[in-house]
Amino acid sequence: MFFSKELSVEVSPQMRSLVVSSDPLGHIPARVLDFIRIAATGPDGRTIESEINHNDHHDQPLGEQYVLSNVIAFQPGLWRLRFEFWSHYAPPGPNYGSTAVFLVQHVDNDCPPPPEEDPDCKTRVQVTQAISGHHMARPGPFLTRTVKLHVPKAGSRVVMSIDPIGTKPFGIDDWVNVTVETPSGKTLQARVSENDAMGRPVGEQWVLSNVIPFEAGCHTVTCELWNQFVPAGNNAGASAIWLVCL
C-alpha cells in the first residue's frame, strides 16, 4: 500500500451510480498502479470490502474498473469509506502511482417533464439491443431507429453507451450516422464511432455532445447503423446502444 484516505459520502435515494474517476464530473475512469482496495461502512454499521481497477501483470483488466456501485450495494444514507492504493507487482523502475482520484455520485435526473412536454422524452433511451455479427454483401445501413432525448440544460454531456448508466462506450461495425432535430428546429448531423478499414478510430467515438451542440429540451435523434466495409464473413453488428444525458 502506498496511499490511504478515509472520507464520508451521503448516498442519495436517487443515486444511479457511484464512480471512481480522474475528473470531478465522473466521466473518466481513475487509474492506479496496481489497484484500489475499499472498505465501505454503511448506515447500519456493516462493512463491505471490495477491490476495483485491478489488472494482471500484463496490465489486462480484472473485474470492475471504475463503477464502485457495481461491486458494493450502496443503500441511501451516510457511508464511511476507506481507500487504499496498492502496488502488487514490483518490476524494476517506476511500479506504482495514480491519476487524480475523485469519488463521484451520479443522481438520476429523469424528473417528470412538465405536462405540456412529451412524457416519452427521457434523459436515457435505448436505441437498440445488441445486434449479432452478420454478413452484408454491400455497404449500407443495417438498422435505422428514431428516438426522443430530453436534455435538461444546454451544453449537457450526451454519450452513446453500451449501458443506461452511460459509463461504457458502445461498439459497432462500422459506424453510426446521427441526425438530431433540436427544439429550435435545427437539423444537425454527425458520424460517431467511425473506424477505417484497419480498425483505427476516426473522429468522435462515443461522446455525441462533442460533435452535436445540444439545446435544452426534447430532441429527435435518428441513428442509422452503417456498414461500410464488406469482407467475407461477419462484417456488420453492434453492441446495445443507449443515448444518455449525464
Look at residue 76 and tell me whether its pLDDT is greater than 80: yes
Q: What local confidence, expressed as pLDDT, does residue 178 receive?
A: 97
82 strand-pairing partners: 6, 39
Confidence of residue 89 (pLDDT cuts 50, 70, 90): confident
CA distance 149 to 147: 7
Look at residue 70 and tell me whether its pLDDT is greater than 90: no
CA distances from 4 to 88, 128, 131, 158 (A): 15, 42, 43, 34
Task: Encode pLDDT of 10-67 as tens digits.
Answer: 999 888 889 999 888 888 888 898 899 999 999 999 999 999 988 777 777 778 888 8
Q: What local confidence, expressed as pLDDT, does residue 141 receive?
A: 96
3-class secondary-structure state, position 233: coil
Task: Encode pLDDT of 130-182 as tens digits.
Answer: 999 999 999 999 999 999 999 988 888 999 999 988 888 999 989 999 999 99
- C-alpha 84: how far from chain center: 25
pTM, whole model, 2 decimals? Answer: 0.58
CA distances from 95 to 45, 112, 144 (A): 36, 49, 48
Angle value at C-alpha 3, between 52 and 73, nearest 5 degrees: 30
Look at residue 101 and tell me whether its pLDDT is greater than 80: yes
Q: What local confidence, expressed as pLDDT, does residue 78 receive?
A: 94
**Lowest mean per-residue pLDDT among 47-51, 75-79, 195-199, 211-215:** 195-199
- C-alpha 96: how far from chain center: 27
**Lowest mean per-residue pLDDT among 107-121, 158-172, 196-210:** 107-121
Look at residue 109 and tell me whether its pLDDT is greater than 70: no
Contacts of 86 (CB under 8 A, 6+ apart): 1, 2, 32, 34, 35, 36, 37
CA distance 11 to 122: 23
Beta strands, E only, 12-45? 15-21, 32-33, 35-41
Confidence of residue 120 (pLDDT cuts 50, 70, 90): confident
